[in-house]
């Protein structure tokens, strides 16, 4: 099967200079297929929609694809001269063609979007108008390009199940990928100017970068359009030897990660009762040392911050000795490991500490879900006490002391757990921070606690060995604030100024962590633009969507959590294209009574396994 490579190019399509630079770099290179997938969507109702919104949507959704096509016309013409035809496919939307007579399988378009998905069409003035304009622009383009044997079509990928659909999509990305390959390979000049629906015999392919960079994206080799047989999605994938995911990455001066796969933090409740890592922990982390970087489970920095039954801690010498045995085993396997620094704040329970209290940014109880006490009994969340201004310096120093112990235990660095509704997150978000002192109110004040923590641990570890984990889209622990997009953008910008090693962001809708739906979704690309340093993307990635987000430049590493439970050698399975076991059920995650069962007894893959079956 003959293949051609498909390249992802990311640029601001509203900026003619960027388009011109791209065309300059591609000068003289034949392009068989150009896929214009530029798009933004910012819903706004009748009373609030602005002129700026219309202008921005038209610049990116309509004019951008036109300018890109015109700039690359010489490249398309070169390809058409060599192979007979070339294709320009612009990704559109049914929302821009609500009255179009489409050849789809659902019948009237309104049935799809009003009855089935109830999309807020009335709130999409600028988006719908820009997509309608794209359809008309393509009709004109098709006439100008046809004389050079260039086919111009618009494709609507279907309501693809990516981050933006929040779990309600009707088309899986893999299906759209296979479908578009089928359409493009069969196009002739007679098809120019056509609009292809996503259902029926002609199912279009989509790039899996719907609107902004999503966690669903991939690096593919498309089949030659002149081949009669079309490979399956799996057959169309490039060999993993070309994957950037398996290349080394250097953090700072001298911390080299052997690949870009991160074993993310998972609280599993397998430490000893004295909060010291157990032998089960040692085996567990050693088994997963094939990852480029391991980030430990959440590790309490103090008694005050502890609040998870049989979780590990790092605030005594005994804790250090336990963790030292873990890090030594990981290092002997060639791995690198950071300790995640954890203070649970209002999600803790008073029974875990001698003072019998829990603290937070403000005296606001977590109203959703439940917690467990020190005896593992289910309990409702308690009312926290707001930390006094003068107390906060002591909490900051607890982090510094814990970092000193982490370094003594042999950790390669530390990650501040600022996600999932724990103490740092409680300070960052307006929903949980109602303070009126220097730690509340403005973006600057709410970020102050985190930034002071970063400075404290930087006094122990070099800045490139310090990371921060954030979940701007998550609703876990009763979180979610209307200003999260702006607040976390500001926070990541400030973290970038501190030159820390990375920001790990739970990008996209984080549906497995209760997507809050309170603010615009923060993607890995948003994080990259704000932080401008190393980004670890996290959100149900597969091997190939991880490759896509890394190759696109939106992220540098990708975190995997639950897949690592059942696949201790996940990095090796990915690289060698070995079968990946499905995720374990929720019932095996936290139960300390299970000991090593469903924890460190999942086997590594053996090449003979398939023969045994």
- Enumerate the active-site residues: 422
Measured between alpha carbons, how far is 34 from 36 in angstroms, rounded to an integer? 6
Write the burial class of residue 536 (CB in 10 Å: 0-12 exposed, 13-18 middle, 19+ buried).
Answer: buried
Other CB atoms within 10 A of residue 447 CB = 23
DSSP 111-142: IIIIIIS---GGGBHHHHHHHHHHHHHHHHHH
The SS3 call for residue 313 is strand
Task: Say if CB 602 and CB 581 are below 8 A apart.
Answer: yes
22 contact partners, CB below 8 Å, separation of at least 6: 9, 11, 68, 71, 72
Residues in a beta bridge with 385: 359
Strands 337-342 and 557-560: unpaired
Q: What share of the chain is helix, strand, coil (3-state, %, to 5)?
A: 40, 15, 45
The SS3 call for residue 223 is strand
Radius of gyration of the chain (CA): 26
How far is the first Cα of the chain from the last one, in angstroms, to the nearest whole number? 30
- For residue 82, give the nearest of 251, 224, 186 by alpha carbon: 224
Strands 3-5 and 293-300: unpaired
The SS3 call for residue 469 is strand
**What tokens does 161 get?**
């199940």
Other CB atoms within 10 A of residue 40 CB = 18
Helix locations, 459-535, DSSP H: 484-497, 524-531
Task: Say if CB 556 and CB 550 are below 8 A apart.
Answer: yes
The SS3 call for residue 421 is coil
| Kind plus residue range of the DSSP H or E element containing 371 | strand 371-372
- Which residue bears the tokens 């015999």? 201
Cα distances (Å, whole numbers) of residue 124 to 54, 119, 121 = 10, 9, 5
């Amino acid at each position: 099967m003959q293949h051609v490579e498909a390249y992802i190019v990311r640029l601001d399509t509203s900026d003619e200079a960027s388009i011109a630079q791209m065309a300059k770099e591609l000068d003289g290179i034949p392009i068989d297929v150009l896929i214009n997938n530029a798009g933004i969507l910012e819903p706004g109702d009748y009373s609030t929609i602005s002129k700026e919104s219309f202008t921005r949507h038209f610049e990116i959704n309509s004019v951008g694809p036109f300018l890109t096509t015109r700039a690359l016309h010489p490249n398309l013409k070169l390809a058409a001269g060599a192979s007979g035809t070339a294709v320009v496919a612009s990704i559109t939307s049914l929302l821009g063609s609500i009255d179009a007579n489409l050849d789809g399988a659902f019948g009237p378009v309104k049935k799809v979007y009003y009855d089935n998905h109830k999309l807020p069409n009335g709130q999409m003035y600028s988006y719908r108008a820009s997509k309608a304009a794209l359809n008309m622009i393509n009709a004109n383009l098709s006439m100008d390009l046809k004389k050079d044997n260039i086919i111009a079509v618009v494709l609507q990928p279907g309501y693809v199940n990516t981050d933006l659909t929040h779990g309600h999509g009707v088309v899986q990305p893999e299906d759209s990928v296979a479908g578009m390959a089928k359409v493009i390979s069969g196009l002739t000049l007679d098809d120019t100017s056509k609009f292809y629906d996503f259902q029926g015999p002609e199912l279009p392919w989509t790039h899996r970068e719907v609107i902004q960079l999503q966690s669903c994206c991939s690096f593919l080799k498309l089949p030659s359009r002149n081949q009669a047989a079309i490979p399956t999605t799996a057959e169309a994938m490039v060999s993993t030897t070309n994957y950037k995911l398996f290349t080394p990455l250097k953090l700072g001066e001298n911390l080299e990660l052997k690949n870009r796969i991160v074993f993310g933090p998972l609280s599993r409740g397998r430490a000893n009762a004295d909060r010291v890592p157990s032998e089960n922990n040692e085996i567990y982390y050693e088994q997963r040392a094939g990852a480029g970087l391991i980030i430990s489970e959440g590790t309490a920095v103090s008694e005050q911050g502890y609040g998870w039954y049989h979780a590990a801690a790092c605030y005594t010498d005994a804790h250090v000795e336990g963790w030292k045995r873990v890090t030594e085993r990981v290092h002997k396997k060639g791995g690198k490991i950071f300790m995640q620094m954890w203070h649970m704040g209002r999600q803790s329970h008073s029974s875990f500490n001698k003072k019998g209290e829990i603290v937070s940014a403000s005296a606001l109880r977590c109203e959703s879900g439940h917690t467990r006490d020190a005896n593992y009994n289910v309990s409702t969340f308690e009312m926290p006490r707001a930390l006094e201004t003068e107390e906060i310096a002591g909490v900051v120093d607890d982090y510094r002391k814990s970092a000193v112990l982490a370094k003594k235990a042999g950790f390669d660095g530390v990650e501040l757990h600022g996600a999932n509704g724990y103490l740092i997150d409680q300070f960052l978000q307006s929903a949980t921070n109602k303070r009126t002192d220097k730690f509340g109110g403005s973006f600057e004040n709410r970020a102050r606690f985190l930034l002071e923590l970063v400075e404290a641990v930087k006094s122990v570890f070099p800045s490139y060995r310090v990371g921060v984990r954030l979940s701007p889209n998550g609703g876990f622990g009763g979180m979610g604030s209307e200003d999260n997009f702006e607040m976390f953008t500001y926070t990541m910008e400030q973290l970038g100024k501190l030159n820390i090693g990375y920001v790990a962001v739970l990008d996209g809708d984080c549906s497995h962590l209760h997507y809050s739906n309170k603010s615009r979704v923060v993607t890995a690309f948003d994080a990259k633009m704000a932080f401008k340093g190393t980004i670890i993307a996290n959100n149900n990635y597969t091997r190939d969507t991880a490759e896509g987000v890394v190759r696109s430049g939106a992220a540098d590493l990708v975190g995997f959590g639950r897949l690592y439970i059942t696949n201790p050698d996940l990095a090796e399975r990915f690289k060698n294209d070995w079968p990946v076991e499905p995720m374990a059920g929720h019932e095996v995650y936290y139960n300390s009574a299970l000991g090593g069962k469903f924890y460190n007894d999942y086997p590594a893959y053996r090449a003979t396994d398939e023969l045994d079956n």
